[in-house]
Chains A and B, each alone.
Chain A
Amino acid sequence: MAVEDVVRLVTIAIWGALAACAAGLELAGRFDLSGAAPIGHVVAMLRAKTAGRAALVLFWMWFGWHVFAR
């Protein structure tokens, strides 16, 4: 196996581990384990502040344009 293939696999594995962490935190929040909260509550808390909502809207705009248009 070439070095590039190993690096690619490691990179994808790290992305997978980060996704698993997010899923774990989300599940812990949904089942109310260790005082955790689902991502929706954290985003709603950010949305409650004008600056937080503005940042989220800007991120939403950039994300959509980046993924679907350019």
Chain B
Amino acid sequence: MACRPSIWAITLAAGGATADSVLAALSRPFTLRADLATGVGLATVVLIGLVNFRLHDRQEVVVTHVPATRPGRPVTLAWGALASAVVIFELVSYFATPRETHPTISSLLDVLAGHEVLRGLLFATWLGAGWWLWRTS
């Protein structure tokens, strides 16, 4: 039988994620508050993920992770080639100076994350992505 979280657990997780996103939105990088907001979010998602995995192991649930429509080799190659191009250009930009002339993904994201509301939304999306990665179904 699959382990489904209760409505209270979902409400608590959503409330916690919202509160942490607000804290992150109001924090600037390289501050204790930013470390705290990111660290708490990261540790909580990892902890919940590990507990979730353990519960599934105990219940001996057969979990199917593979998507219904499995992408073919050309598709994987196309996305892989694009990811490689991004990594190579990121490294080229990273080692070239000055940063203002050679912006990296991080420096471009800094502009986006410079606005409090956008930073909060980006943080909430990051937490959601983390949760999705740990999901067992």
Would A69 and B78 count as touching, CB distance under 8 A? no
User: Nearest CB to that of A49 among chain B residues?
Assistant: B65
The answer to the question of B66 belonging to the interface, with a C-beta cut-off of 8 Å to chain A, is yes
Min Cβ gap A43→B in Å is 9
Would B102 and A11 count as touching, CB distance under 8 A? yes
Interface of chain B, main secondary structure: helix
0 or 1 for each of B11-55: is its CB under 8 Å from A? (1 = yes) = 000000000000010010110001101110110001001000000
User: A residues touching B (Cβ–Cβ < 8 Å)?
Assistant: 4, 7-8, 11-12, 14-15, 18, 21-22, 25, 29, 35-37, 39, 41-42, 44-45, 47-48, 53, 56-57, 60-61, 63-70
What are 5 inter-chain pairs, A to B, with CB distance below 8 A? A15-B108, A36-B75, A36-B78, A60-B130, A69-B30
Excluding A48-B66, A69-B37, 11 further A-B contacts by CB distance (< 8 Å) are A8-B103, A11-B102, A12-B108, A18-B82, A25-B82, A42-B79, A57-B49, A61-B130, A63-B126, A64-B126, A69-B38
